[in-house]
Structure 1
Amino acid sequence: MITSIILLNVVRERINEVAEQLAEMEEVSEVYSVTGNYDLVAIVRVKHNDDLARLVTEQLVKIDGIEKTDTMLAFKAYSKHDLEAMFSL
C-alpha cells in the first residue's frame, strides 16, 4: 500500500466544498482543514504509483477551487496502530 499526503491551497470560499469532494474519493481516507500555509490536507492510500498519478493528474485537476497541491510520499509509518489492517484495500 502506498500512502501519500497531499497539501492543498484552495480558494477560500470553496474550502468546505472541495473537502467534501475529496472525502468522497475512494482513494482518500481522510481530509483535514488546517492552519498554516495550506488549507486542506488529504491522506491518500493506493495500491500502485500509477493510481496516485491518475488521482493527482486526472481527478484533482477537475475539482474547481484547488489552486495548488504538494504531494508527499510516505516511506514508513511509525504508529501504535496496525495501519495495514485498518486501511487494507
Structure 2
Amino acid sequence: MLTAFVLITADVHSIPETAQDVADIDGVTEVYSCAGDVDLIAKVRVRDHEQVAEVVTNRINRLPGVARTTTHIAFRSYASSETEAGFSVGE
C-alpha cells in the first residue's frame, strides 16, 4: 500500500463541507482541519501511484471548495517505539 498526504488550501467559507467531501472519497482514510499554511490535510492509502493520481487529480482537485493541493508521498512509517530506538545512541 502507498500512503500520501495531501495538503489542501480550501475556500475559507466552506472548510467543513470540503473536509467532508474529501473524506467521502474512496482511498482517503482521514482528513484533518488544521492551523498553518494549509486548511486541510488528507491521508490517502491506495495500491499504487496511478491511484494516487486518480484520487488527487481527478477527485480532490475537482471539488468546489478546493483551491490548491500539494501531495507528499510517504516512504516509511514509524511508531513511537521505533522512533525512540532510531534516535538512541548505543544506550
TM superposition score category, shorter chain reference: 0.7 to 0.9
Q: List structure 1 runs of 4+ shifted beyond 6 angstroms.
A: none
Aligned to 2:72: 72
2:48 equivalent to 1:48: yes
Q: Provide the aligned C-alpha RMSD in A.
A: 1.3
SS of 1:29 mapped into structure 2 = strand
> Once the 2 structures are TM-superposed, how far is the Cα of residue 62 of structure 1 from its aligned partner?
2.0
SS of 2:70 mapped into structure 1 = strand
Q: Deviations over 1:15-65 (max 9, x none)?
A: 001100111112010000000000000000000110001111111232001
Aligned to 1:86: none
Aligned to 1:87: none
SS of 1:54 mapped into structure 2 = helix
Unaligned runs of 5+ in 1: 81-89
Aligned to 1:37: 37
Amino acid at match of 2:27: E
Partners of 2:39 and 2:46 in 1: how far apart? 23
2:14 equivalent to 1:20: no
Larger Rg: 2
Counting matched residue pairs gives: 81
Contact 2:18 2:66 in 1 (8 A): yes
Partners of 2:12 and 2:4 in 1: how far apart? 24
Aligned to 2:83: none
Contact 2:25 2:59 in 1 (8 A): no
